[in-house]
């Protein structure tokens, strides 16, 4: 009986949910932070429904509204960015964690319970494993044994390194779940909020929070209507990966014009070293904004543009308020002159143009395709399986 007890304890999981503080220097930044915290409330409730999750540890500079009976341990942190590797390594040692399930606060706003159960079961039965939503840019990760973390602290300043470092360098067997909105959509920008406001499977606390915000989804809905119209023309530019491209092809019969460039510019260090090069940014510099948008409106019926690649090409590093203001079309918040002019031109174009960051062409695009799949009147092709159907 004693042996069985210790075997059962060894398979139990400690979940760590790491959430940033509330508020921000502008309304859009505060909305994103608030959405992450609302999503964390949903996630904590989901984790509490998993029998093999023995402990839920909340890590945040601000626990207001997040503490519940389900949270077994609260660890406060200083405001601002934290070193993820240091915190996880310290927790793994102090709490003698063997099987660790880590989530960033906004990492899983569409994750259904049955997918979470699959994650938990895989982790509970593995001797060695690093399980992530994305090996190259992890938003959440399941790890066994967690005791390896102290060795790799210096290489884990951010959570997106967890999958790659612990598989490629630490040598743990790796598993990634299929790419769906549930596994890839992470709350990072206001465009993520727009997609979540329209998605049918957004969790309850987050849905209620989004409904309280003055979000304008008209441009995204207009672009989705074009994407779901047979023989329409759609322009996509930025860090578009094969999973999102395939999803568009499965759910839509539109003609795509794609400029896919600079995937991995952050994780590879190219952006930090000033090595990002954008064909689209170079073209706009050559012909001018007016000529570019005139041609774009003539060649396409809608556009989705990842502006961060063009900014990195110009070695412009605007603050979150400026980036988020551009995403939402709030010109008064866009301090950078080039981005303000680009955003104004996009707003004035006669076609819907959706602006955003990496998530726009990753998790958000997968969410958009799932939205189309659930609204047959919009879609021109066969239905794309949703996150709740693609869990194996």
SS3 175: strand
**60-97: buried (b, 16+ CB within 10 Å) or exposed (e) per residue?**
bebbeebeeebbeeebebeeeebebbebbbebbeebeb
**156-173: buried (b, 16+ CB within 10 Å) or exposed (e) per residue?**
bebbbbbbbbbbeebebe
Please, what sign has the CA dihedral across residues 331, 187, 43, 66?
negative
Residue 17, beta-bridge partner list: 58, 103
State the pLDDT at residue 207: 97
Within 8 A by CB and 6+ apart from 76, the residues are 60, 61, 63
Task: Give the residue carrying structure tokens 């080039």.
Answer: 338
User: Which stretches of the chain are DSSP H helices?
Assistant: 2-11, 27-48, 84-94, 113-124, 162-164, 181-184, 190-198, 204-211, 218-227, 242-251, 270-273, 279-287, 289-299, 307-313, 320-328, 337-348, 363-374
The closest of 292, 386, 271 to 342, measured between CA atoms, is 292
State the pLDDT at residue 377: 57
* Chosen CATH of 2-177 out of 3.40.640.10, 3.90.550.10, 3.40.50.720, 3.20.20.60: 3.90.550.10
- Would residue 335 be called left, alpha or beta, if left means φ above 0 and alpha means ψ between -120 and 50 degrees? alpha
Task: Give the residue carrying structure tokens 């092809």.
Answer: 249
CA 41-46-47 angle, 5° bins: 100
Q: What predicted TM-score, i.e. pTM, was given to this entire model?
A: 0.90
Per-residue pLDDT of the chain in tens (392 residues, 90 and over written 9): 443 333 444 579 999 999 988 888 899 999 999 999 999 999 999 999 999 999 999 999 999 999 999 999 999 998 888 999 999 999 999 999 999 999 998 999 999 999 999 999 999 999 999 999 988 889 999 999 999 999 999 999 989 889 999 999 999 999 999 999 999 999 999 999 999 999 999 999 999 999 999 999 999 999 999 999 999 999 999 999 999 999 999 999 999 999 999 998 887 778 989 999 999 999 999 999 999 999 999 999 999 999 999 999 999 989 999 999 999 999 999 999 999 999 999 999 999 999 999 999 999 999 999 999 887 555 443 344 444 443 33
Residue 353, beta-bridge partner list: 303
Structural domain spans, the chain: 2-177, 190-374
List Cβ<8 Å contacts ≥24 apart for 373-376.
373/251, 374/200, 375/228
CA distance 183 to 143: 17
SS3 373: helix
Give the dihedral of Cα atoms 109, 115, 120, 126; nearest 10 deg: -130
State the pLDDT at residue 375: 74
State the pLDDT at residue 21: 85
């Amino acid at each position: 009986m004693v042996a069985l007890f210790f075997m059962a304890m060894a398979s139990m999981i400690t979940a760590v949910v790491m959430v940033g503080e509330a508020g921000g220097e502008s309304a859009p930044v505060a909305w994103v932070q608030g959405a992450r915290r609302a999503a964390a409330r949903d996630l904590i409730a989901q984790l509490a429904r998993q029998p093999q999750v023995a402990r839920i540890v909340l890590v945040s500079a601000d626990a207001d509204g997040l503490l519940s009976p389900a949270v077994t341990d609260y660890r406060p942190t200083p405001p601002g960015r934290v070193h993820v590797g240091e915190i996880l390594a310290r927790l793994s040692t102090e709490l003698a964690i063997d099987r660790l399930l880590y989530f960033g606060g906004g990492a899983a706003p569409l994750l259904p319970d049955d997918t979470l159960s699959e994650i938990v079961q895989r982790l509970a039965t593995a001797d060695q494993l690093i399980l992530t939503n994305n090996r190259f840019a992890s938003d959440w990760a399941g790890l066994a044994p967690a005791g390896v973390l102290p060795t790799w602290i210096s290489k884990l300043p951010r959570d997106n390194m967890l999958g790659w470092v612990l598989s490629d360098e630490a040598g743990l067997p790796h598993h990634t779940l299929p790419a769906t909105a549930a596994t890839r959509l992470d709350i990072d920008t206001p465009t993520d909020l727009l997609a979540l406001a329209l998605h049918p499977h957004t969790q309850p606390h987050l849905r209620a929070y989004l409904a309280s915000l003055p979000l304008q989804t008209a441009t995204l809905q207009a672009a989705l209507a074009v994407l779901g119209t047979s023989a329409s023309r759609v322009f996509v530019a930025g860090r578009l990966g094969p999973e999102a491209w395939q999803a568009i092809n499965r759910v839509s019969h539109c003609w795509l014009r794609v400029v896919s460039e600079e995937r991995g510019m952050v994780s590879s260090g190219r952006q930090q070293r000033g090595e990002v090069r954008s064909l689209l940014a170079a073209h706009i510099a050559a012909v001018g904004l007016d000529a570019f948008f005139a041609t774009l409106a003539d060649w396409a019926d809608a556009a989705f543009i990842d502006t961060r690649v063009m900014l990195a090409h110009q070695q412009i590093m605007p603050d979150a308020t400026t980036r988020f203001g551009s995403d939402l079309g709030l010109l008064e918040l866009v301090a950078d002159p080039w981005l303000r002019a680009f955003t104004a031109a996009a707003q004035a174009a006669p076609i819907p143009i959706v602006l955003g960051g990496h998530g726009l062409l990753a998790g958000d695009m997968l969410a958009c395709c799932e939205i189309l799949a659930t609204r047959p009147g919009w879609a021109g092709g066969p239905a794309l399986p949703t996150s709740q159907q693609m869990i194996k």
